[in-house]
Amino acid sequence: MPGIAGAGRAEYPMDTPDQVLPPERTEGGVPTPVPVPEEEVDELVEYLPRSAVGAACTAAAGPHQQRVERLLKLPVDGRQSTADCEAIRAFQQREKIKPANGYAGPVTWSRAELLAARRDPNAAGRCPVMTYTVACVDLTRELMWVQKGTKVTFDVVNIRSGRPGYRTRTGWHTVYWRNKDHWSSLYDTPMPFAQFFDGGQAFHGVYGQIATPTGSRGCVNLSYAHAEKLWNVLRQDDHVYVFGSRPEA
């Protein structure tokens, strides 16, 4: 059922694994290309508990209630009031998030974080400003961008980082290996536009929505389209800086 976590059928798994060694996946000695999505997923469908499905304006506080309250400049108390619900629903309607029923789930939160960061993703100065290219990965906001000095060369986008037990490792890293048509030999899962930066953790595209209740298995997941754009921005030996901590829902 659309909007319910884990419901429906996907052609490929939503989560993607760490991968240290490139698999040997070929057809007649030629590397097998990863699938290209027939069309990019552009609908924003919120993940809901079954108790909230069909509610006109749910009274339940979502897992990202306080974060959404802060971003929408509502009283930050983590409790869903009627005014909160109406404000969140109005935001969802404006951003075409379905269903628009005031539930502060991962899709609503990720969209609000992205909009707040677009003008200046490094306003807090947490990603070091260097003379060379740095791919900045903000786990706290689940965002990434690329900067060279103070100039943003790849606009801020939503990401999905590692879940508990598979955390995306923080600190400085370097893009050490790139494979446009990478397949995971652990799970036989396509990892398009993979750019590895630390012990098997990589930037790569996924099929479907990025904002989900659970994280990846360590990689930094992007939409297929964003991963393709990032492929043309980063180069081998470029620097990656990962900071923050993925919030628990």
Contact 110, 144 (CB under 8 A): no
Best CA proximity match to 219, nearest among 233, 247, 200, 193: 200
pLDDT at residue 83 in the model: 95
- 38/35 Cα distance (integer angstroms): 9
pLDDT at residue 4 in the model: 33
Calculate the dihedral angle through the C-alpha atoms of 192, 213, 44, 47, rounding to the nearest 10 degrees: 140
pLDDT at residue 25 in the model: 62
Give long-range contacts, CB 8 A cutoff, 24+ apart: 88-91: 89/57
pLDDT at residue 14 in the model: 43
pLDDT at residue 145 in the model: 98
- 172/237 Cα distance (integer angstroms): 12
pLDDT at residue 53 in the model: 79
Contact 185, 202 (CB under 8 A): no
pLDDT at residue 17 in the model: 47
Catalytic site positions: 204, 219
Burial degree of 121 (CB within 10 A; 0-12, 13-18, 19+):
buried
pLDDT in tens, 121-147: 999 999 999 999 999 999 999 999 999
In the predicted model, residues of the chain with pLDDT beneath 70 are: 1-31, 38-42, 249
- 231/161 Cα distance (integer angstroms): 18
